Amino acid sequence: MITLFGLKNCDTCKKAMKALPDAAFVDIRAEADLAAKLPVWLEAVGAKALVNTRSTTWRGLDETQRARADSDTAGLLAENPTLIKRPVIEANGTVFVGWTAVTANELGADA
């Protein structure tokens, strides 16, 4: 089973859902159990891959808050779910972040 974590209005998430029509969609803000998921995702892919430093939310943080990306990544992301690079895809025990041609190929979908 493939689970896609994202935002309903995110264009990249929409592309991934279109390519993965059988995937279960979980809204990262409203439905995801981030307390349980974030440690797993961080262990699998690391903070650099999971934190979206190009987002509007990131640009709105002050330096103290941004420093938490290194010291308390899970806490920062739990408080600001839109900082999570999207989509996060769980498939067969593997975690993928973002939607690229490589991710699509790994999941057997078209990018």
Residues designated as active site: 10
Q: What single-letter DSSP state applies at residue 106?
A: H
Asked if residues 42 and 50 have their Cβ atoms less than 8 Å apart, the reply is yes
DSSP character string of 73-101 = HHHHHHH-GGGB-S-EEEETTEEEES--H
